[in-house]
Each structure stands twice: as C-alpha cells, then as structure tokens.
Amino acid sequence: MPTKLVILDRDGVINYDSDHFIKTPDEWKPIPGSLEAIARLNQAGYRVVLATNQSGVGRGLFDMAMLNAIHDKMHKLLGQHGGRIDALFYCPHAADSKCACRKPSPGMFEEIAKRFNMGLEGVPAIGDSLRDLQAAAAMGAQPILVKTGKGEKTLAAGGLPENTPVFDDLAAAVKHLLSQAS
C-alpha cells in the first residue's frame, strides 16, 4: 500500500500564531480540535509531517534547545490525544538568508519526498500563509488553506494557487479529507 502523507504547517494551523513568534513552550497553545484532527489522520493511516519556518532561531529570538522544548510539548500533548507527528522539518534561517528551505522555497518538501521516498503529487499540504501553499504547489502537492492563524488575511489578499480549497480550521480540513473515498 502506498504511503499516505499529510504535510502541515505549524504556527496558525496546529497552534495559535503570534506576530511576536512562539518563543517558549508556554506560548505554544493548540488551536481547539487540531490535536484530535492529527490523531484522526493517524488512525486513518496517514503519516503526518511538519514543515515549519522558524526564523526566530536565525534572528536569535530563541535557540535550538528552546525549539526542541516547544516541540517536546507539542509531541506530549499530541500523544495524550493518541496522535503523532512522524517527521518534523524546520527552517531555522532568517528571512533574508536566501536558504533553500524557507517557504515559499520547496526545500523542506524536497526533503520530505526524499525521506519518504515518494513523489508529493496530490499530497495534502495544509497551511495558513501563501508561502505554505506556494511551496506545496511547487512540488505538485495539493495546497489547502485554513482560516486560522494568518489564513483570513491570506484569503483576503488573494493570489492563491489554483484549486486551493479553504476550510475554517485543521479539524474541518481533516474531516473533509477523511470523508473522501480513498
């Protein structure tokens, strides 16, 4: 059976976003229903992969030990809901670093394809910012916008990749995904 993947952005999709960055575990607060939604994906046989820009590291706002502590909290809370994230990719570079991994560049998506040894054509990729959708579209993945986080602003600004469905939040997007025959 082929591997079923879903790629998620983190801030504004799983947890509440902040214009001041998520710098500590305390600041990482799950959006209601998001952890349950990930668990539901797992139960349906999906592997869930994170691809997240974390330029706060490159800007010196928090270090790798802190990023790991934040992710420890995420994994722990997720585990309490019976969910798991199979792989976590992050770009720690500052916005002006011109690295290959910061979305909208597709570097993290290329890494995901390599890690799972598969193409990403049609793989659902859920984000709240245009750059999430652009990175997904560049790899032939299926971009999906949620209105949480920066999603409302992203939707209002327009210019989404063609055929980008829009959902209220991760729970609604997952509910739709799982309602489709597969």
Active site residues: 9, 11
The partner in contact with residue 101, picked from Mg ion, Zn ion, none with C-beta cut-offs of 5 to 8 angstroms by kind, is: Zn ion
Phi-psi region of 141 (alpha: psi -120 to 50; beta: other; left: phi over 0): beta
For the chain, report the end-to-end CA distance as a whole number of angstroms: 12
Choose the one of Mg ion, Zn ion, none that binds residue 12, judging by a C-beta under 5 to 8 angstroms depending on kind. Mg ion
Q: Single out the segment in contact with Zn ion by CB under 5 A; choices: 68-76, 77-85, 87-95, 140-148.
A: 87-95
Binding site for Mg ion (CB under 5 A): 9, 11-12, 128-129
* Residue 181: CB minimum distance to Mg ion, A: 29
Q: Which does 11 bind (CB under 5 to 8 A by kind): Zn ion, Mg ion, none?
A: Mg ion
Is 103 a binder of Zn ion (CB under 5 A)?
Answer: no
Q: How far apart are CA 154 and CA 176, in angstroms?
A: 21
Question: Residue 17 annotated as binding?
Answer: no
Contact 89, 43 (CB under 8 A): no
Q: List b or e across 34-52, with b for residues whose CB sees 16 or more CB atoms inside 10 angstroms.
A: bbbbbbbbbeeebbbbbbb
| Among 5, 14, 38, 91, contact with Zn ion (rule: CB under 5 A) | 91
